[in-house]
Structure 1
């Protein structure tokens, strides 16, 4: 009787690396390792220490299912069900955009601004997984937050993350198309948003796994600025006169978004770059505010 092949950690990783490379996966070896760690419930260093360890039939079956999904360009975070952001692991599903590392810089800047100004009421527009507002409330125990999203499924995910990280009692979730379901008598000290900003015609050119993420979280209209226009126009009603508006923006959009803010009376603006030196965040406020005096400090 012919013996079944022995699938050791090394053999599995080498085979998967080549398979992923043939499928056009950007980081074939890294993705193979991450998926295998999820199956074996171990750290990546363990794969190298126990390189000759064989996988049993159950482990192989689970790993094969993960490999098939990744080869079909499903994002790693959806396969694993979580994504690290700031100091926590956030639940993610196909209902939400996968949190990106550069968005952590937005959270850091907003948190720094909130501490300095003593901001108490925060609004996150298009919250998705809740990564931004949940992380802010975790960093700002004196603050309360409101998170809006047009997707009920996304709000379920955000609520679970808020519960898991221990901030749910200070967070209100609202199913709303931007400001439409909010109380117009309530104003916020800080409004933050990472809205859809990909120009509609550019979506077809995105990486295949990014195209698996919710279209509504990507499509920013013809020039990618539709949601910035709508949010900025609502600040007269929902942003405190001395409040701060904070955005994540797409490549080459920062100056256009700054101009939209200035046209709406938020004439003091600042831009922060991400890890790749791309202008990625825009901050805006009115003259004479605490934020106006400290924007450069917050964004440095």
Structure 2
């Protein structure tokens, strides 16, 4: 039996709803777009277009995987973030809207024509680094990650966005081997979920996201203890940092950066009014020993 776009979308929505999926309409549309090779506009303007048998079979496979709580981004292999579209897979954290707060804070601090150097620690798919470089044509950046699989995704994304001439990537352990006072901006979305909490997360995250990008140790703060002094070390005097945090970690992370000598340390909330990003600067008068 042939399916039209509108019938396929409706049936997919119902199937996902029955499976207890949170946003069945959006998820069904995203998977239909990829399976049928259509845009959102075409689903609306040409609703009676028929799917081929191959397209219907692909959509059915997608829906089966989603019902098992595999993230949509892994199924279709892409995710929108800020104003860019990123390839994603099981080796990288799926970009989340909350992380856009970092991009917003950075863009406020660095005017469009200003040349600056950026470091993204735990770059993953390239989310933060590439979103900033896409908006700031005079900037260049380095993305570091401990996962070579994640770096392969980031490199592909940089090439697809035509940013590979301004973005470089390094397999490494945070700031190891990086020179003192070498960046105008350091951004990071480190693992910050307490180890014991991970098993309580939604299956999409618990079972499908890379544990390396989630597990922040017993209290979720392990990465910040390492990063606070190291970020201040690699920042140029007057340079800015922006790190994502868990909703209840503002006070602890601010304290770590203050203890490391940061100035103007503050927390910005996300659209859900949760504490989300800690920013600050390195003393502009600091010259080092």
TM-score, normalised with respect to structure 1: 0.87
Instruction: Tell me how far 1:221 sits from its aligned partner.
Output: 0.9
Does the CA contact (< 8 Å) of 2:87 and 2:157 recur in 1?
A: yes
Equivalent residue for 2:13?
Answer: 17
* Counterpart check, 1:197 vs 2:192: yes
State how many pairs are aligned.
284
Question: 2:118 aligned to 99, 117, 122, which one?
Answer: 122
Instruction: Tell me how far 1:98 sits from its aligned partner.
Output: 0.9
* Counterpart check, 1:79 vs 2:75: yes
Question: 1:158 aligned to 130, 154, 174, which one?
Answer: 154
Does the CA contact (< 8 Å) of 2:238 and 2:281 recur in 1?
A: yes
SS at match of 1:168: coil
Unaligned 5+ segments in structure 1 are: 290-300
For 1:211-235, what per-residue CA distance to the aligned partner results, in whole angstroms no more than 9, with x for missing partners? 2111111111111111111110213
* Counterpart check, 1:32 vs 2:28: yes
Using a 3 Å threshold, how does the CA distance of structure 1 residues 119 and 112 change in structure 2: closer, same or farther? farther
Spell out the pairing of 1:216-295 with structure 2 (5 A cutoff). Answer: 216-287=212-283
Does the CA contact (< 8 Å) of 1:268 and 1:287 recur in 2?
A: no
Taking only aligned residues, the RMSD between alpha carbons, in angstroms, comes to 2.1
SS at match of 2:203: coil
Identify which range, 147-156 or 41-50, moves more after superposition. 41-50
Question: 1:207 aligned to 202, 207, 232, which one?
Answer: 202
For 1:98-151, what per-residue CA distance to the aligned partner results, in whole angstroms no more than 9, with x for missing partners? 111222221121122123894622110000000111121222222221110000
Structure 2 distance, partners of 1:7, 1:231, is 53
Does the CA contact (< 8 Å) of 2:113 and 2:138 recur in 1?
A: no
Using a 3 Å threshold, how does the CA distance of structure 1 residues 242 and 257 change in structure 2: closer, same or farther? same
Instruction: Tell me how far 1:11 sits from its aligned partner.
Output: 3.6
Question: 2:90 aligned to 85, 90, 94, which one?
Answer: 94
Structure 1 distance, partners of 2:164, 2:7, is 45
Does the CA contact (< 8 Å) of 2:113 and 2:137 recur in 1?
A: no
Using a 3 Å threshold, how does the CA distance of structure 1 residues 13 and 191 change in structure 2: closer, same or farther? same
Structure 1 distance, partners of 2:114, 2:143, is 19
Identify which range, 162-171 or 109-118, moves more after superposition. 109-118
Using a 3 Å threshold, how does the CA distance of structure 1 residues 286 and 65 change in structure 2: closer, same or farther? same
